[in-house]
Structures are given as structure tokens and as C-alpha cells.
């Protein structure tokens, strides 16, 4: 007989929890992230409404039935089932379609954007900029030497690689399109910045593009989000979004 | 007093060794007629097993299709000639086994024995031929490692051979019972079931050969 | 005094317990293997939760148990990750596949169908011992030199292929793990063959398909799903073992440098493993939940004294869930590097599965609505299942949208989702089945008061542990992290994580009530009457006649009107008797 009240209490507690928000998303820093937040809030309201309705209905069924001595058979089965079936289908498919639109809007390559290579390995991040010649030098795993200062493996004989800038933190110009080219030399990693509301698995043997456009300057943590070994939780770096002029100055100084 | 569950055998400790339930799909039942239910269940069972095997091979083939499209390191395998002989032997063994099966249905035990024995011998011959084929491939330098095409060839043929070993075990068991004249028109489920699975392996083999002759 | 006769009797008992082909004996074997597994799995989870929030605390006996992995009494990251792998593997395979399907179907399916036995009793027994061998291999993998595998139950290559250079435990431990999984697949296939053949061919006289209880329907559908999914896991396991031991490169591309070792593999695709694994992996989670759904339908009808609302719809929704479950594996790979267009297709299909699931939920509530409820422990767990399944299923609405999944993938949001649906809801199905069918297993009843206490505390504890966990996901807290001390944003979630840990410990302690109840009632429980729940299905029947009616004739109108002493008719009850 406790089940009914407990269900109602739990529903209320869940609502309170969502009102209080012990922890929450960080602030969004791009247009795509804002679109994500909108889609998330829609879904949350819908899921929340279904959650509350279902738990209350269940609680009522329990409370009503405790006292009853004889069961009353149901009628009109098909109508209830059909209506609810169509309603759920409509609701879920709408959500899916809306969600897909947001997915489709995730930008494809734009001309004139900043291109930066991201290199993940067990257990650190490195980032490479093409330098003033605008070209990335050739790389090969035989040239890789973390201790020797060549974590990306730039071929020393390639002139295009001589001006490449390799860093341990990711600096990006705020307000400009940036294309990240994700690489790894060993196992699957994942590039994750919470404020961008997106992540991308980095698969060895593939060069995977990720388009980002950060709206405002700031410093954000980069985490690895695919199990890559014992140092998986140690793979921390930072993404520093700088005002465009400062970014250009920084590139020239390097 | 209502009968409680502990008063049946399900609750308390059974006092004697358990009885194998009648018609449970095997055991020494040469003097008992087959139960219809168990025959139907055995045939359903072998069909279901064939579905499982098909899924396994489908997974291998889909992996093969994906892998081939990935890189330029696919080298078409030159199939050893003996594989064509093996295919013929397998088809012949299937024909022998099926002829035997039909004969038994009509009660012709002696003829059945001849054909089934032929099928068993040919089936064993197929397996021996496969071993020779693998040896020949190895001599030509095609191993499991190094070349995805030969890797898949070994995977598919080893998986097929593993199934053949199991099926051959069943076929040989039937042979053993047949030679003692323990089978007949009213007692032939194990014959039908092994024959069905044998033909399945035949078709599977033709599929694998076709894959490597025409595509891989 | 131990006489030769007594010794022989004890030997006979052991023999009959371990080698009996009687389906109920096999069911009991599976049940106890699952019980052992769930206790081990829970202990492992407690070790993980403790380490996450108290990483610097030295625990003396850690060092004794794992001299290498927990030197100084503090867990190393590799030990944490190998415990995580073992936890996931044990729970998904040995608890959530064996208990709902193998244990209960073996116990009840033949009787409910009016068959006398399973189709292939000796194969059935063999299937159990193969599962037991798989369990032994799994434990061996954890104790192998170098440690247990640390690649999670999903074992993505290249991490799980390139060997010990990628991490401790990736040597022998990982190899044994793959063997264990391959052997388990074989066991599951044999069980699937048995269940399918029994349902198709051994139904008793009068038992048509549409008169089968929903438990049988769901076991049947689950067995078919098993049949289609496990062979793919077996194939994938064979291929990855060849990559590890045979020099092939199905899943590992060229040009890898792991540590300072150049890897010799070339030309393979890590994504190929993910496709094969998840083609199995997604149906696997439906294999875990469908039997529980059948049990819930069955029990709610029994304890509401009403027929199941929409029996046919329930059958079709089970079939739809299983069928659609085979088509949605890509939703585990939205951000894996797949073609973005495929994500849209997988997303639409994933959201579609919500429709039959919602239908089932509605029908469960509708069955209980206007019923005359008997809130036994079994019924409480069945109703609790509905509540938790709704909560856990709703987080699927977020994860099924690739745009939203791009944030939530590999965060604690996913962990919360699957723990609610699998860890809690599916387990509630097992609890419900245990309380309901305990009389059939051991001839005695479980204690109802202890059962209800256990239910309420578990229900509240489950919500307290896993509902707040969604918030860790909102904050972007990644999963499979051995520690939370490196990142600033993780430090802010520590109070929440501490709450979850403390709640989890309480939840685990509460399960001791159930264990006590189980083992005490085994010997000293109230002796069970023949049909303690006044159920209509055949497993409770003492008569032998053919089936003459459907499975849920509770409170048939003419019975109620006639004020007959009973409000139900068993499936094989001849006359209406009044």
C-alpha cells in the first residue's frame, strides 16, 4: 500500500532535483551548441511530461486497485491502443526529425577557414598548425619522438614541415570557422569539449574532420571520451579561444 | 489436504538417479517407437541450427566485403586445383547420403547401408582433401597472416570444416547404428536430421567456392 | 555418523543436482550461477564506486588481494579498468542473459506450454556446463598474469588487439576474455535451439500459439533474437582472436605506433568490429529485457485478477521490439566516424522502438487499472519494473537523437540510462520471477514481509542512486574514467558522485535482506500449496487435461456474477464448475 504514495513522492523528488540542478551543462559557446541546448530542452520537457504522467497513472492504478474486491474488465481496448500508438509514434518521430535537422546542420567544410591538426595518443594531446606557408609537412611514425620534441612525427627532410607549429594546447580564433583534423597513432580516442556540445571519436587509420566555430574567447577543457587505456582520465588539454587579432599575432610569433 | 509442491518430485531431493525423460532426443531407444513430437522437435532443431550457422557465415562474409573495400592490399587467391575435386566429392557424398535416406524410408536397409557408407567415406575424403588444400596453399606462401584474402579463405574454410567434423560425427554415429540394423522406416529421424545438415554444408561449400572463384 | 548408505545418498544428490537433465534441475543450476554472478558483479561495482570518490584512501586488504594492481592499498587505474570490464561482462552475460532467459525459461516454459520436458534435455544440461566453463574462463582472464583486460565489455580494437603494449591486462587476460565470450555464445545458441524447438513442436494438446502465456511468447521471441545475434558475436570473436594470435589484420589499420612499438598489423578497420559487436550488442540488451517484460505482463494479470489488456498487441509489440532491435545497432556509433546520413536512418528506427515499448507500458497500467490488486512482493517488483522501465527508457529519447548523443555519448548519462533499464528494471523482472516461482524451484514460499521490505528499500535506493547520475551526464562527466582528479569540471561533480557512491553502498547492503530471505526460505520457508498465487497458467496445474482456454481468464464475467468461490479458470480446467 506504500507503493502509490512512494511513486508520487519519487515523481515530486525528481521534479525538485531538476529544479535544483546539482550540476548542469556549462555555458554554450557556439551557435551549434545553442541549437543543441534548444533541442535538449524540448526533449527534456517531453520526456518529463511522459515521466510524470506515467508514474502518476501507475500510482493511481495501484491506489484504486488496493481496495477493490472484484476486478472490472476493460472495454474499448482497440481505440485506446490505436490512439496512444499513433500519438507516441507521431511524438517520437517528430523528435527524431527535429533532432536530425540539428544533426544535418552540423557544418561541412567552409572555404577560408583555419585548419588545425589534432593528434591524440596514449595519453596526451598535441596540435599542429601549418605555419606561414599554409602547408602541413609530411609525417611518418618513424619520426615520432615524444621525448625528442617531435610528437607528431614531422619528416625533417620536408621543407613544408619546417615552419609547422606544434603545441600541447589548442589555440583557436574566436569568431572564425575552424576545421579540426583529428588523428591518432595508436588506439581510438575521442575529442570532447563540453562547451561545444559535441564530441568526435578519433579512429586510427582515419583522418576525421570536425568543424567548429567558437563565438567568444575563453579557456575550455579538452577531455578524451573513448576508453584508450590506463591513462584515459589523464588526457587533459585546454582549448584557448582568442580574439582573432591576438590569435594571428600568436601565430606570427611562433 | 491440498497437495503441496514438496510432495511432488520438484521440491525435495530426488531419491534415485534421475530418469532420462522418454523421447528426449536420443539414448538407447531401439525397442521403443519414436514419438512424433520428438521427431518434429529434432527437425525444428536442425533447422534452427542451420539458421545460426548461416548467421555466423553471413557475419564472416559481410566482414569480408567490408575488408575488401577498405584497402588496395587484396590479392586474389589462386585456388588449388584439389578444391574443385573436393567440391565434387562433397556433392557426390550428398547424393549418396540422400539416396540412402530415401532407401531407408522405403525399408531397404541393406541398400541404405551401402549408400550411407559411401557417403561417410566420401565425406571423410572431403575433409582429407581440405587438409591437403591448406597444405598446398601454405606451400605457395599463402598463410593466415599477411594477406586478407587468404585470411578470409582460411577463416571460411576452417569454420566450414569445423561444421563438417561435427556433421561427420553424426553421420558416423548413424553409420554405426545402421550397421547394426537398428534403423528403419519408423526409426530414421537421426538419418533425416544428419542428411539435412549435410546438404546444408554442401550448399554452404558451394557458396564459399563461388565467393572465391567469382568474386574474391 | 556417515554410513556408506548416507554417503551414497549424498553422492546421488550431488550427481542429480549437477547432472540431471530434468529442466527444473537445469534451471536451478542457472539460477545459482546467476546469483553468484550478481553478487560478484555488485561487489565489483562497490569497489569501483569507492575508488572513484575516495581515490587516495588506503585500504589494507586491497593490497593483499591485488599486490600488483593495488600496491599501497590504492587502486591503480589499470586495476579499476579491469574491474570495470569484469563488472560489465559478468552483469550483461551471466546475470542478465542467464537469469531471465535460461533460468526461468527452463523452469517454467515446458510446464506452461503443456510439454513435459524441453525439446533436448541433454543438450540443455550441456548448455549449462558450457556457460559454467565460460564463467571459469572469465574469472581466469581476470587472474591472468599481467592482469585482467581493461578494454571494457565492448573490447574495441586496436586497444583490445595490439597486446600488452597497449596496457596491462591486454596480454593473456584479453585473450582469455575473448575465449570466454566465444564459449558463452555457443552456450546461448544451444539454449536458443532448445527453447525454439520446444515452443514450436512440443506444445501440449490445445495450446495454440495465441493461447500461450506472454512469458512463453517473450522467451520464444528472445530465443529467436539470441539465435540471430550470438552467431555474429561468435564470428567477431573468432576474427579478433585471429588478429591477436594468428597474425591477421581484420580490425587494425596500418601504421600504428603504440608506446614505442610499431604494430605489424595493416589494412583492417576498427569500425568493422564495432559494427559486428553492436549488431550483436543491441539485440543483447533486448534479450535482457524481453523476458522480464513477459514476466511483468504475466504477473500483473495474475495479481490484478484481470486478463492482460491487449494480449495480441503485447505479442506484436514483443515481435516488433525484437525485429527493430536488429536494425538499430548504429545508434551506439553515431559519433564513431560513420557516414552522417546513416545516423539519421538509425535514429528514426531507434525512436520507432519507443512506440511498441510505450504500448506495453500503457497496457501494463491498463491491466492493473480497475483490477483487484494483490500487492504481493512479486507484484510489487512487477509494478516497480514498469516505473523504472519508463524512467530508464525515457533517457533513450535523448540518446536516440544523434545531435544530442554527440554530447551524451560516453558520459554518465549513458551509464544512468542502461543501469536503470538493465541493472534495475531487468533485475526487477528477475526478482519478480524469483518470488513468483520460488515455490516451483524449492517447494517453499519466500517470506513476504522480508520481500516487501527488500522491495521498498531497493526501489527507493535504485532511484536515489541512478536518477541523480543523469546530472553527472548533463555536466559532461565522461564514463570509464578511473579517477576524477585531473579535470576542473569533474571536481565540481564530486559531491554528486559521493552521493551516488553512498547510495550505491546502501542499495547493495539492502540486497542482503534478499539473500537472507532466499537461503532461509530454501530450508525453512513455509511449505507452498499447489497454486499459491491462484494463477491460471499450466505450471501450477495438477490436472493433465488439454488446454481449453486462453492464459488470462481472471474474473470472467459469469464467474463473478455467480459468486463462485474462485475468480479464475485455469487453462486446462474442463468444466466451468458452477
Q: What is the ipTM of this complex?
A: 0.95
Does C125 touch chain B if contact means CB atoms closer than 8 Å?
Answer: no
Q: Confidence class of residue C14 from pLDDT cuts 50, 70 and 90? A: confident
Q: Closest by alpha carbon to C82, among C177, C169, C154, C156?
A: C169
Does B125 touch chain C if contact means CB atoms closer than 8 Å?
Answer: no
pLDDT tens digits for range C230-272: 999 999 999 999 999 998 999 999 999 998 889 888 889 999 9
Q: Break chain A into its structural domains and give their ranges.
A: 3-66+78-104, 114-253
8 Å CB contact of C401 and A23: no
8 Å CB contact of C476 and A236: no
Most distant CA pair in chain B: distance in Å?
80
Residue C348: partners with Cβ closer than 8 Å, 6 or more residues away: A93, A96, A97, A100
> How buried is C424 (Cβ within 10 angstroms: 0-12 exposed, 13-18 middle, 19+ buried)?
buried
Does C235 touch chain B if contact means CB atoms closer than 8 Å?
Answer: yes
Does B155 touch chain C if contact means CB atoms closer than 8 Å?
Answer: yes
Does C564 touch chain A if contact means CB atoms closer than 8 Å?
Answer: no
8 Å CB contact of C397 and A185: no
CATH number for the domain harbouring residue C344: 1.20.210.10
Q: Confidence class of residue C560 from pLDDT cuts 50, 70 and 90? A: low
Considering only CB atoms, which chain C residues are within 8 Å of B6? Answer: 443-444, 527-528
Q: Using an 8 Å Cβ cutoff, are C292 and C100 in contact?
A: yes
Distance from the Cα of C469 to chain B's closest Cα (Å) equals 36
Q: B1-5, C6-10, C181-185, C224-228: lowest mean pLDDT where?
A: B1-5
8 Å CB contact of C474 and A232: no
8 Å CB contact of C365 and A7: no
8 Å CB contact of C193 and B52: yes
| CA distances (Å), origin B21, targets A80, B35, B37 | 47, 12, 13
**Domain assignment present for C2:** no
Cβ contacts from A onto C, under 8 A:
324
C-alpha to C-alpha distance for C314 and C296, rounded to whole angstroms: 12
Q: What b/e string do you get for C71-102 counting C-beta neighbours within 10 Å, with b at 16 or more?
A: eeebbbbbbbbbbbbbbbbbbbbbbbbbbbbb
Chain position carrying cell 567548429: A212
Average pLDDT over residues B31-58: 86
Distance from the Cα of C432 to chain A's closest Cα (Å) equals 15
In this prediction the pTM is: 0.94
Does B1 touch chain C if contact means CB atoms closer than 8 Å?
Answer: no
Considering only CB atoms, which chain B residues are within 8 Å of C230? Answer: 52
**Domain assignment present for C255:** yes
Considering only CB atoms, which chain B residues are within 8 Å of C236? Answer: 59, 63
Considering only CB atoms, which chain B residues are within 8 Å of C239? Answer: 60, 63, 155
CB atoms within 10 A of CB C562: 12
8 Å CB contact of C372 and A69: yes
Residue B200: partners with Cβ closer than 8 Å, 6 or more residues away: B50, B53
DSSP assignments along B131-193, one per residue = HHHHHHHHHTT--SSS-HHHHHHHHHHHHHHHHHHHHHHHHHHHHHHHHTT--BTTB-HHHHH
Q: What is the structure's pLDDT at C346?
A: 95
Does B110 touch chain C if contact means CB atoms closer than 8 Å?
Answer: no
**Domain assignment present for C450:** yes
8 Å CB contact of A185 and C257: yes
Q: What is the structure's pLDDT at C147?
A: 87
Does C338 touch chain B if contact means CB atoms closer than 8 Å?
Answer: no
Q: Confidence class of residue B50 from pLDDT cuts 50, 70 and 90? A: very high
**Domain assignment present for C414:** yes
8 Å CB contact of C403 and A39: yes
> How buried is A116 (Cβ within 10 angstroms: 0-12 exposed, 13-18 middle, 19+ buried)?
buried
Chain C stretch 480-499, residues whose beta carbon is closer than 8 A to a beta carbon of chain B: none
pLDDT of residue B29 exceeding 80: no
Q: What is the structure's pLDDT at B34?
A: 54
**Domain assignment present for C440:** yes
**Domain assignment present for C493:** yes
Q: What is the structure's pLDDT at C4?
A: 74
Chain C stretch 398-437, residues whose beta carbon is closer than 8 A to a beta carbon of chain B: none
| Residue C139 in grid coordinates | 574469472
Q: How many domains does chain C have?
A: 1
**Domain assignment present for C13:** no
| Residue B205 in grid coordinates | 561449400
Cα A80–chain centre separation: 39
Q: Which helix (H) or strand (E) holds C434?
A: helix C427-442
CB atoms within 10 A of CB B16: 8
DSSP assignments along A159-180, one per residue = GGGTT-EEESSEEEETTSEEEE
8 Å CB contact of C24 and B10: yes
**Going by DSSP bridges, is the β-strand pair A177-184/A114-121 parallel, antiparallel, or unpaired?**
parallel
C-alpha to C-alpha distance for C37 and C527, rounded to whole angstroms: 28
8 Å CB contact of C467 and A236: no
C-alpha to C-alpha distance for C21 and C106, rounded to whole angstroms: 11
Chain C stretch 174-193, residues whose beta carbon is closer than 8 A to a beta carbon of chain B: 189, 192-193
> How buried is A231 (Cβ within 10 angstroms: 0-12 exposed, 13-18 middle, 19+ buried)?
middle
| Residue C299 in grid coordinates | 504477473
Q: Confidence class of residue A107 from pLDDT cuts 50, 70 and 90? A: low
Distance from the Cα of C473 to chain B's closest Cα (Å) equals 34
Share of chain C above pLDDT 70, in %: 98
Of C310, C386, C401, the CB nearest to A99: C401
More confident residue, B63 or B74: B63
Cβ contacts from B onto C, under 8 A:
167
Residue C454: partners with Cβ closer than 8 Å, 6 or more residues away: C377, C510, C511, C513, C514, C517
Rg of chain B (C-alpha set)? 22
Residue ranges of domains in chain B, CATH in brackets? 44-70+79-215 (1.20.120.80)
Does B162 touch chain C if contact means CB atoms closer than 8 Å?
Answer: no
Task: Report residue C344: phi and psi, to 5°.
Answer: -65, -40
Domain assignment of residue C176, given as a range: 21-561
> How buried is B98 (Cβ within 10 angstroms: 0-12 exposed, 13-18 middle, 19+ buried)?
middle
pLDDT tens digits for range C327-351: 999 999 999 988 888 999 999 999 9
Q: In a 3-state reduction of DSSP, which class is residue A207?
A: coil
Q: Using an 8 Å Cβ cutoff, are A228 and A203 in contact?
A: no
**Which region holds residue A209: left if phi is over 0, alpha if psi is between -120 and 50, else beta?**
beta
pLDDT of residue A38 exceeding 60: yes
8 Å CB contact of C116 and B21: yes
**Mean pLDDT, rounded, of chain A:** 91
8 Å CB contact of A228 and C397: no
pLDDT of residue B25 exceeding 90: no
**Domain assignment present for C336:** yes
As a CATH number, domain A114-253 is 2.60.40.420
Of C117, C232, C250, the CB nearest to B24: C117
CB atoms within 10 A of CB C139: 16
Q: Confidence class of residue B71 from pLDDT cuts 50, 70 and 90? A: confident
C-alpha to C-alpha distance for C41 and A97, rounded to whole angstroms: 39
Q: What is the structure's pLDDT at C12?
A: 79
DSSP letter assigned to residue C80: H
> How buried is C471 (Cβ within 10 angstroms: 0-12 exposed, 13-18 middle, 19+ buried)?
buried
Chain C stretch 365-424, residues whose beta carbon is closer than 8 A to a beta carbon of chain A: 365-366, 368-373, 375, 380, 383-384, 386-387, 390-391, 394-395, 397-398, 400-404, 406-407, 409-411
Q: In a 3-state reduction of DSSP, which class is residue B34?
A: coil
Q: Closest-CA residue in chain A for C263?
A: A186
First-last CA distance in chain B? 73
Which is it for the CA torsion C479, C480, C481, C484, positive or negative?
positive
Average pLDDT over residues B107-128: 95
**Which region holds residue B119: left if phi is over 0, alpha if psi is between -120 and 50, else beta?**
alpha
Considering only CB atoms, which chain C residues are within 8 Å of A57? Answer: 365
More confident residue, C136 or C562: C136
Q: What is the structure's pLDDT at B205?
A: 97
Average pLDDT over residues C314-325: 97
Considering only CB atoms, which chain B residues are within 8 Å of C246? Answer: 144-145, 151
More confident residue, C165 or C36: C36
Mutate to test the interface with B, among C268, C274, C437, C445 (most CBs of B within 10 A): C268
Amino acid at each position: 500500500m506504500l507503493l502509490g504514495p512512494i511513486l508520487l513522492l519519487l515523481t515530486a523528488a525528481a521534479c525538485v532535483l531538476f529544479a535544483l540542478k546539482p550540476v548542469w551543462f556549462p555555458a554554450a559557446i557556439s551557435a551549434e551548441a545553442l541549437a543543441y541546448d534548444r533541442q535538449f530542452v524540448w526533449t527534456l520537457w517531453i520526456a518529463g511530461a511522459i515521466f510524470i504522467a506515467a508514474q502518476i497513472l501507475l500510482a493511481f492504478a495501484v491506489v484504486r486497485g488496493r481496495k477493490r474486491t472484484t476486478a472490472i474488465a476493460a472495454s474499448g481496448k482497440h481505440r485506446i491502443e490505436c490512439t496512444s500508438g499513433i500519438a507516441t509514434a507521431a511524438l517520437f518521430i517528430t523528435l527524431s526529425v527535429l533532432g536530425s535537422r540539428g544533426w544535418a546542420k552540423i557544418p561541412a567544410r567552409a572555404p577560408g577557414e583555419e585548419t588545425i591538426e589534432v593528434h591524440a595518443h596514449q595519453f596526451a594531446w598535441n596540435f599542429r598548425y601549418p605555419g606561414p606557408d599554409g602547408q602541413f609537412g609530411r609525417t611518418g611514425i618513424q619520426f615520432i619522438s615524444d621525448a625528442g620534441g617531435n610528437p607528431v612525427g614531422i619528416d625533417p627532410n620536408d621543407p613544408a614541415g619546417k615552419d609547422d607549429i606544434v603545441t600541447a594546447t589548442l589555440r583557436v580564433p574566436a569568431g572564425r570557422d575552424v576545421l579540426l583534423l583529428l588523428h591518432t597513432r595508436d588506439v581510438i580516442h575521442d575529442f570532447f569539449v563540453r562547451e561545444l556540445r559535441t564530441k568526435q571519436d578519433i579512429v586510427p587509420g582515419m583522418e576525421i574532420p570536425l568543424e567548429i566555430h567558437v563565438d567568444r574567447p575563453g579557456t575550455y577543457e579538452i577531455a578524451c571520451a573513448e576508453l584508450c587505456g590506463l591513462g584515459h582520465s589523464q588526457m587533459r588539454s585546454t582549448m584557448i579561444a582568442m580574439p582573432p587579432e591576438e590569435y594571428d599575432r600568436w601565430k606570427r610569433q611562433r | 489436504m491440498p497437495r503441496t509442491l514438496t510432495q511432488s518430485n520438484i521440491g525435495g531431493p530426488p531419491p534415485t538417479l534421475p530418469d532420462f525423460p522418454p523421447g528426449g532426443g536420443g539414448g538407447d531407444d531401439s525397442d521403443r517407437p519414436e514419438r512424433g513430437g520428438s521427431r518434429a522437435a529434432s527437425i525444428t532443431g536442425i533447422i534452427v541450427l542451420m539458421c545460426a550457422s548461416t548467421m555466423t557465415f553471413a557475419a564472416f562474409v559481410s566482414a569480408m566485403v567490408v575488408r575488401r573495400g577498405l584497402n588496395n592490399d587484396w590479392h586474389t587467391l589462386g585456388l588449388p586445383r584439389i578444391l574443385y575435386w573436393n567440391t565434387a566429392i562433397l556433392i557426390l557424398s550428398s547424393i549418396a547420403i540422400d539416396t540412402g535416406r530415401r532407401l531407408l524410408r522405403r525399408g531397404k536397409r541393406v541398400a541404405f547401408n551401402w549408400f550411407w557408407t559411401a557417403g561417410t567415406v566420401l565425406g571423410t575424403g572431403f575433409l582429407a582433401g581440405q587438409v591437403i588444400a591448406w597444405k598446398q596453399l601454405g606451400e605457395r606462401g599463402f598463410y593466415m597472416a599477411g594477406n586478407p584474402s587468404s585470411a578470409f579463405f582460411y577463416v571460411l574454410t576452417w569454420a566450414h570444416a569445423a561444421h563438417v567434423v561435427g556433421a561427420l560425427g553424426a553421420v558416423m554415429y548413424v553409420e554405426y547404428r545402421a550397421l547394426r540394423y537398428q534403423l528403419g522406416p519408423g526409426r530414421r529421424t537421426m538419418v533425416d536430421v544428419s542428411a539435412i545438415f549435410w546438404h546444408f554444408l554442401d550448399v554452404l561449400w558451394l557458396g564459399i567456392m563461388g565467393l572465391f572463384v567469382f568474386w574474391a | 555418523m556417515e554410513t556408506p548408505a548416507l554417503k551414497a545418498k549424498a553422492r546421488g544428490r550431488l550427481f542429480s543436482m549437477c547432472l540431471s537433465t530434468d529442466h527444473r534441475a537445469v534451471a536451478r543450476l542457472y539460477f545459482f550461477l546467476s546469483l553468484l554472478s550478481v553478487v560478484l558483479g555488485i561487489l565489483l561495482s562497490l569497489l569501483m564506486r569507492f575508488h572513484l570518490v575516495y581515490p587516495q584512501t588506503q585500504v589494507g586488504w586491497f593490497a593483499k588481494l591485488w599486490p600488483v594492481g593495488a600496491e599501497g592499498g590504492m587502486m591503480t587505474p589499470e586495476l579499476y579498468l579491469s574491474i570495470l570490464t569484469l563488472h560489465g561482462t559478468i552483469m550483461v552475460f551471466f546475470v542478465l542473459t542467464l537469469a531471465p532467459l535460461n533460468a526461468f525459461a527452463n523452469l517454467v516454459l515446458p510446464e506452461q506450454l503443456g510439454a513435459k520436458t524441453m525439446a533436448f534435455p541433454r543438450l540443455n544440461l550441456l548448455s549449462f556446463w558450457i556457460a559454467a566453463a565460460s564463467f571459469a574462463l572469465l574469472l581466469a582472464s581476470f587472474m591472468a598474469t599481467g592482469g585482467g583486460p581493461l578494454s571494457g565489455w565492448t573490447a574495441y580494437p586496436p586497444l583490445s588487439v595490439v597486446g600488452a603494449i597497449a596496457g596491462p591486462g591486454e596480454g593473456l587476460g584479453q585473450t582469455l576474455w575473448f575465449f570466454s565470450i566465444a564459449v558463452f555464445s555457443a552456450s546461448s545458441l544451444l539454449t536458443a535451439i532448445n527453447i525454439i524447438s520446444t515452443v514450436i513442436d512440443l506444445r501440449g494438446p490445445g495450446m495454440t500459439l495465441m493461447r500461450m502465456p506472454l512469458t512463453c511468447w517473450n522467451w520464444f521471441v528472445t530465443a529467436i533474437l539470441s539465435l540471430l545475434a550470438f552467431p555474429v558475436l561468435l564470428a567477431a570473436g573468432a576474427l579478433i582472436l585471429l588478429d591477436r594470435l594468428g597474425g591477421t589484420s581484420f580490425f587494425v589499420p596500418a601504421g600504428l605506433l603504440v608506446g614505442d612499438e610499431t604494430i605489424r598489423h595493416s589494412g583492417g578497420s576498427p569500425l568493422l568490429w564495432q559494427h559486428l559487436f553492436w549488431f550483436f550488442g543491441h539485440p543483447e540488451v533486448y534479450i535482457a529485457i524481453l523476458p522480464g517484460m513477459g514476466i511483468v505482463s504475466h504477473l500483473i494479470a495474475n495479481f490484478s485478477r484481470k486478463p492482460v489488456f491487449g494480449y495480441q498487441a503485447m505479442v506484436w509489440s514483443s515481435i516488433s521490439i525484437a525485429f527493430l532491435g536488429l536494425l538499430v545497432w548504429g545508434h551506439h556509433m553515431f559519433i564513431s566516424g560513420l557516414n552522417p546520413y546513416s545516423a539519421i536512418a538509425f535514429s528514426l528506427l531507434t525512436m520507432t522502438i519507443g512506440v511498441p515499448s510505450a504500448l506495453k507500458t500503457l497496457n501494463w497500467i491498463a491491466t492493473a487499472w480497475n483490477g483487484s490488486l494483490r500487492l504481493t512482493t512479486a507484484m510489487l517488483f512487477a509494478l516497480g519494473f514498469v516505473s523504472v522501465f519508463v524512467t530508464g527508457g525515457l533517457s533513450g529519447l535523448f540518446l536516440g537523437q544523434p545531435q544530442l548523443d554527440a554530447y551524451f555519448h560516453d558520459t554518465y548519462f549513458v551509464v544512468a540510462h542502461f543501469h536503470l533499464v538493465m541493472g534495475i528494471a531487468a533485475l526487477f523482472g528477475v526478482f519478480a520471477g524469483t518470488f513468483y516461482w520460488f515455490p516451483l524451484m524449492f517447494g517453499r514460499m519466500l517470506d513476504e514481509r522480508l520481500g516487501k521490505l527488500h522491495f521498498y528499500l531497493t526501489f527507493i535506493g535504485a532511484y536515489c542512486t541512478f536518477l541523480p547520475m543523469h546530472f553527472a551526464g548533463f555536466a559532461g562527466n565522461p564514463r570509464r574514467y578511473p579517477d576524477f582528479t585531473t579535470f576542473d569540471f569533474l571536481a565540481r561533480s564530486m559531491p554528486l558522485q559521493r552521493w551516488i557512491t553512498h547510495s550505491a553502498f546502501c542499495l547493495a547492503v539492502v540486497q542482503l535482506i534478499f539473500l537472507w530471505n532466499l537461503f532461509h526460505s530454501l530450508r525453512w520457508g513455509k511449505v507452498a500449496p499447489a497454486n499459491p498465487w491462484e494463477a491460471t497458467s499450466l505450471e501450477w496445474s495438477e490436472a493433465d487435461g488439454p488446454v481449453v482456454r486462453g492464459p488470462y481468464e481472471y474474473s470472467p464475467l459469469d464467474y463473478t456474477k455467480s459468486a463462485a468461490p474462485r475468480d479464475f479458470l485455469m487453462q486446462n480446467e474442463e468444466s466451468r464448475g458452477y
